[in-house]
Structure 1
Amino acid sequence: MIITSISDVHIKESTDSNFSLLKKFFNHEYVRKSDYIVLNGDIFDILIGGKVQYLKKYSDFFLLIESAIKNGSKIIYIEGNHDFHIERLIRKSKKKLGIPDEMFLHIKNYFDIEVDSRLVRFTHGDDVEIENESYRKYKRAINNPFVKFLGDYIVPFSFIEWIGHRASNKSRGKNVKKYELTVEGQEFVKDKFRTSSKLYFKDHSNISGLVCGHSHCKDYFKLDDGKFYVNNGFAPASKSFIKISDAGVEFIDL
């Protein structure tokens, strides 16, 4: 079995360099041979709700999905904090492209795959991170069913795009300066997520592997009991993806 996973690509337009990186991922020989391709959240910089305009704006992305499925891979799209309430959009894409339901799955929280008799959990990682109450309040707010209804049926597409990118840029400006651009910041995030993964394993003893995104900090951490936490980081910076098979875990360069 081969599983490949990428997260935190943060595509804004299908013409930008981040989309080119995702295209390179889908065209990689290991990805083309994958039984599962896991898109582990924040593939887009902003993708909210089920607006049909996304099918046109990101038509090249959905063609990549269609091609991978025709090649025999099962696609798992796990929501992040930049791409959420997208189940309706994925249903529309499957209907438009004639994709079988079981081959393209929308996952709200996490997805488990058994690898060599061990359970590996894929999750965006924001549910794993500890000690971030302000973010948890934000996540509870955006997951409100009323917010989903507004995004799907009431708020215009153009306004969703505007307010989403505005919030994203504001958040990124603060976090990049504080964490991503300094060695100290990266070490802080790495240690925080390693501690978070240890606590997560303690509460979920049946899980042997944890594959996350969200932190924008590339890391592969093995625990003493053989369990592991792995994160590909911010894909445009790491220029890599995760490959998991019976042989183990690897970072593959793009």
Structure 2
Amino acid sequence: MKIKRKIEIAVISDVHLGTYGCHAKHLLNYLNSIEPKKLILNGDIIDVWQFSKRYFPKSHLKVIKKIMNMSADGVEIIYITGNHDEMLRKFSGTSIGNISIVDKLVLELHGKKAWFFHGDVFDVSIQNAKWLAKLGGYGYNILTLLNRFVNWYLERNGKERYSLSKKVKNGVKSAIKYINDFEKVISNLAIENGYDYVVCGHIHQPKMAYIETRHGKTTYLNSGDWVENFTALEYQFKRWKVYHYNKDKLSPFYVDEELEDMDLKDLIAAITIVEQHEKKIK
């Protein structure tokens, strides 16, 4: 029997289900290794911008079913909308069983206030030129697909994985400035509004940093992504940590056996289970 780690809150973002860059199997292993009270999905879980009926593998469906099963088992699921799944914003404020959809969230954590949102509202390229942002998204998708072939070759020859997109980002001064500005603006706004923690995603850069200015202090947290970093945020014992799948896993947690052979009919059945669970509660 696999022992799952019990944690108060797990935060994941930028999974991008429905794209070639998504590492759904890694995420499944992670979700199978934890038992959270709350699971916060902080945006861009399903990539509607680049969604194609031709590409939505079973492993991606299994992630959705896993989340549904967690909800049916009593885990509170909070889906915070992002820019790639912005179509869900018209359903903001609605709930199905233990699953709720919101645009932002504030939680009281042991006497401290935590402010959660995806982060795209601070992205000028999205607000002012959405078509350009989408075009960049397609280019990023192609780059991550190419990266998968590169890493397949490297791993086959016993060499370390390599991130092309991270190399490109780190090599472009404007990209570094954008990330720094993003973190600075969000942290300053959190301080102005009296939030002890500000939790976001969007820029695919996992980070935890203590920020202090003459106006106050806050802790900036970014959950990273499941395209290149494979990271999550975890809150337990009044502390936050960045979980790195490649570094922090002590032993592998494989996909549950009941999830091995699953198709779209099973996904519909999973949704039905959630609805039945809701009726029992009522």
TM-score by length of 2: 0.61
SS of 2:23's equivalent in the other structure is helix
Partner of 2:100: 105
Partner of 2:83: 81
Query: Which whole-Å CA distance do the structure 1 matches of 2:77 and 2:191 have between them?
Result: 29
Query: Which whole-Å CA distance do the structure 2 matches of 1:166 and 1:183 have between them?
Result: 18
Partner of 2:260: none
Query: Which whole-Å CA distance do the structure 1 matches of 2:200 and 2:229 have between them?
Result: 14
Q: Is the 8 A contact 2:24 2:60 kept in 1?
A: no
Alpha-carbon distance change, 85 to 64 in structure 1, aligned in 2, over 3 angstroms: same
Alpha-carbon distance change, 185 to 101 in structure 1, aligned in 2, over 3 angstroms: same
List structure 1 runs of 4+ shifted beyond 4 angstroms.
56-59, 87-91, 164-167, 171-174, 176-179, 183-186
Whether 2:221 is the aligned partner of 1:196: answer: no
Query: Which whole-Å CA distance do the structure 1 matches of 2:181 and 2:90 have between them?
Result: 34
Partner of 2:138: 169
Whether 2:228 is the aligned partner of 1:222: answer: no
Partner of 1:123: 117
State the shift of 1:17 in Å: 5.4
SS of 1:42's equivalent in the other structure is coil
State the shift of 1:83 in Å: 0.9
Partner of 1:213: 201
State the shift of 1:75 in Å: 0.4
Name the stretch that deviates more: 180-189 or 113-122.
180-189
Query: Which whole-Å CA distance do the structure 2 matches of 1:87 and 1:48 have between them?
Result: 17
Query: Which whole-Å CA distance do the structure 2 matches of 1:245 and 1:226 have between them?
Result: 21
Letter in 1 for 2:11: S
Q: Is the 8 A contact 1:232 1:238 kept in 2?
A: no
SS of 2:205's equivalent in the other structure is coil
Alpha-carbon distance change, 102 to 173 in structure 1, aligned in 2, over 3 angstroms: same
Alpha-carbon distance change, 74 to 63 in structure 1, aligned in 2, over 3 angstroms: same
Q: How many residues align?
A: 211
Alpha-carbon distance change, 128 to 229 in structure 1, aligned in 2, over 3 angstroms: farther
Query: Which whole-Å CA distance do the structure 2 matches of 1:168 and 1:183 have between them?
Result: 17
Which structure: larger Rg? Answer: 2
Gaps of 5+ in 2: 1-6, 144-164, 246-282
Whether 2:12 is the aligned partner of 1:6: answer: yes
Whether 2:234 is the aligned partner of 1:243: answer: yes
TM-score by length of 1: 0.67
Q: How does 1:53-64 map to 2 (within 5 A)?
A: 59-64=61-66
